[in-house]
Amino acid sequence: MQRRQFLLSSSLAATAAALALPGVHAHASGRLTPLKFTLDFRVTGQTSPFFLALQRGYYREEGLDVSIDVGAGSVASITRIASGVYQMGLGDINSLIEFQSANPPVVQAVYQYYNRAPFAIIGRKDRGITQDFASLQGKRVAAAAVEATRRAWPIVANQLRVGPDFFQWVTTDFSARDNVMVRGDVDAATYFHDSAVSLFARMNPQLLSVLRYTDAGVNLYGNAILASQALLSQQPQVVAAFLRATNRAIVETLADPLPAIAATRQREPILDERIELERWRLTAEYVAARDTASHGLGDVVRATLEQQVEQVVEVFGLKSRPSADTLFDRSHLPAAASRKVNA
């Protein structure tokens, strides 16, 4: 990954200007607005900026009392928010397209966390798997039953012009995925690239091939910060405040991840600092992907999002096509200067 230098001076200036605006801090009564946020999965370095914002009081400075809960997968976050149990969360854009195709847009993306989806299939070289997707033919590939990387595979298969029986799926739990890889029960497994750090800690990465979906020419947005339509319509200032605080922490984590990893380990002391730093190094490649240099963190290119909608609708045979405007609401993004990054 090319090293990125963040425009911290402009980011800090923009943040200072934002903090000077009315309504940013707690109300005059001193009362904080409660907000429930669901992660996509477990507490790890992948989502360390959220814990940095919590530890450093950035949410409280914005008048928010934020609670962060572990998730049950990036697909489940959507239903958690749609149910009203959570107001915001981290969830998969592809799954949001499917959801909005069959339901009213009661959940929308408001900040694109993974500017590129970190989807990858990781295979054992001793089973003949190389950096070429063709080497997966006839292999056994482990994946959870409902998992974003597995669900997105048909888009890659369509791009590569291969059929549904190109390889054999072996359904397994998230928790067992590393084990079946290490034992050699399967030839490969689907991962978020940054989630594979747990596998890399048990198997020499030199023995593994990482096949990123982006290497197949598929440019998909990944997990985004989502908000309920109820919150967006009734308390839009809460969404904007959450995004300002979170973006501030993302910029700081990209510049220096150590404090964010320390904040995450306060929540989950069992985490290994070295592993989580490596996990964040991979996460950062997808959060600050190349095209963020033009439009900044958190935003999307409309044409890219529309293409993704077309791919998901075609591959999954969806009955209706959600519009880019109902999927992604950019009106609450922090100031552009605070989201800028050099590629």
Alpha-carbon span 173 to 168, nearest angstrom: 16
Question: 223-228 and 208-212 as β-strands: parallel, antiparallel, unpaired?
Answer: unpaired
Alpha-carbon span 280 to 276, nearest angstrom: 6
Q: What's the pLDDT at 72?
A: 86
Alpha-carbon span 37 to 88, nearest angstrom: 5
By C-alpha distance, which of 42, 51, 110 is closest to 76?
Answer: 42
Burial class (CB in 10 A: 0-12, 13-18, 19+), 44: buried
| Per-run averaged pLDDT (10 residues), the chain, 343 residues | 36 37 48 96 95 98 97 87 97 94 96 96 98 97 90 93 95 92 97 94 96 94 97 98 98 97 97 96 94 93 95 92 96 96 66
Residue whose structure tokens are 């029960």 = 185
Q: What's the pLDDT at 162?
A: 96
Q: Which residues pair with 341 in a beta bridge?
A: 6
CB atoms near residue 12 (< 10 Å): 15
Q: What's the pLDDT at 170?
A: 97
Alpha-carbon span 57 to 64, nearest angstrom: 9
- Beta sheet of 119-124, edge-to-edge order: 168-171, 140-143, 188-192, 119-124, 208-212
**Which residues, including other chains, have CB under 8 Å from residue 314's CB and lie 6 or more apart?**
158
Q: How many whole angstroms from its chain centre is CA 254?
A: 15
Q: Is the pTM of this model over 0.95?
A: no
Residue whose structure tokens are 């990054």 = 341
Q: What's the pLDDT at 147?
A: 83
Q: What is the mean pLDDT of the chain?
A: 90
Q: What's the pLDDT at 68?
A: 98
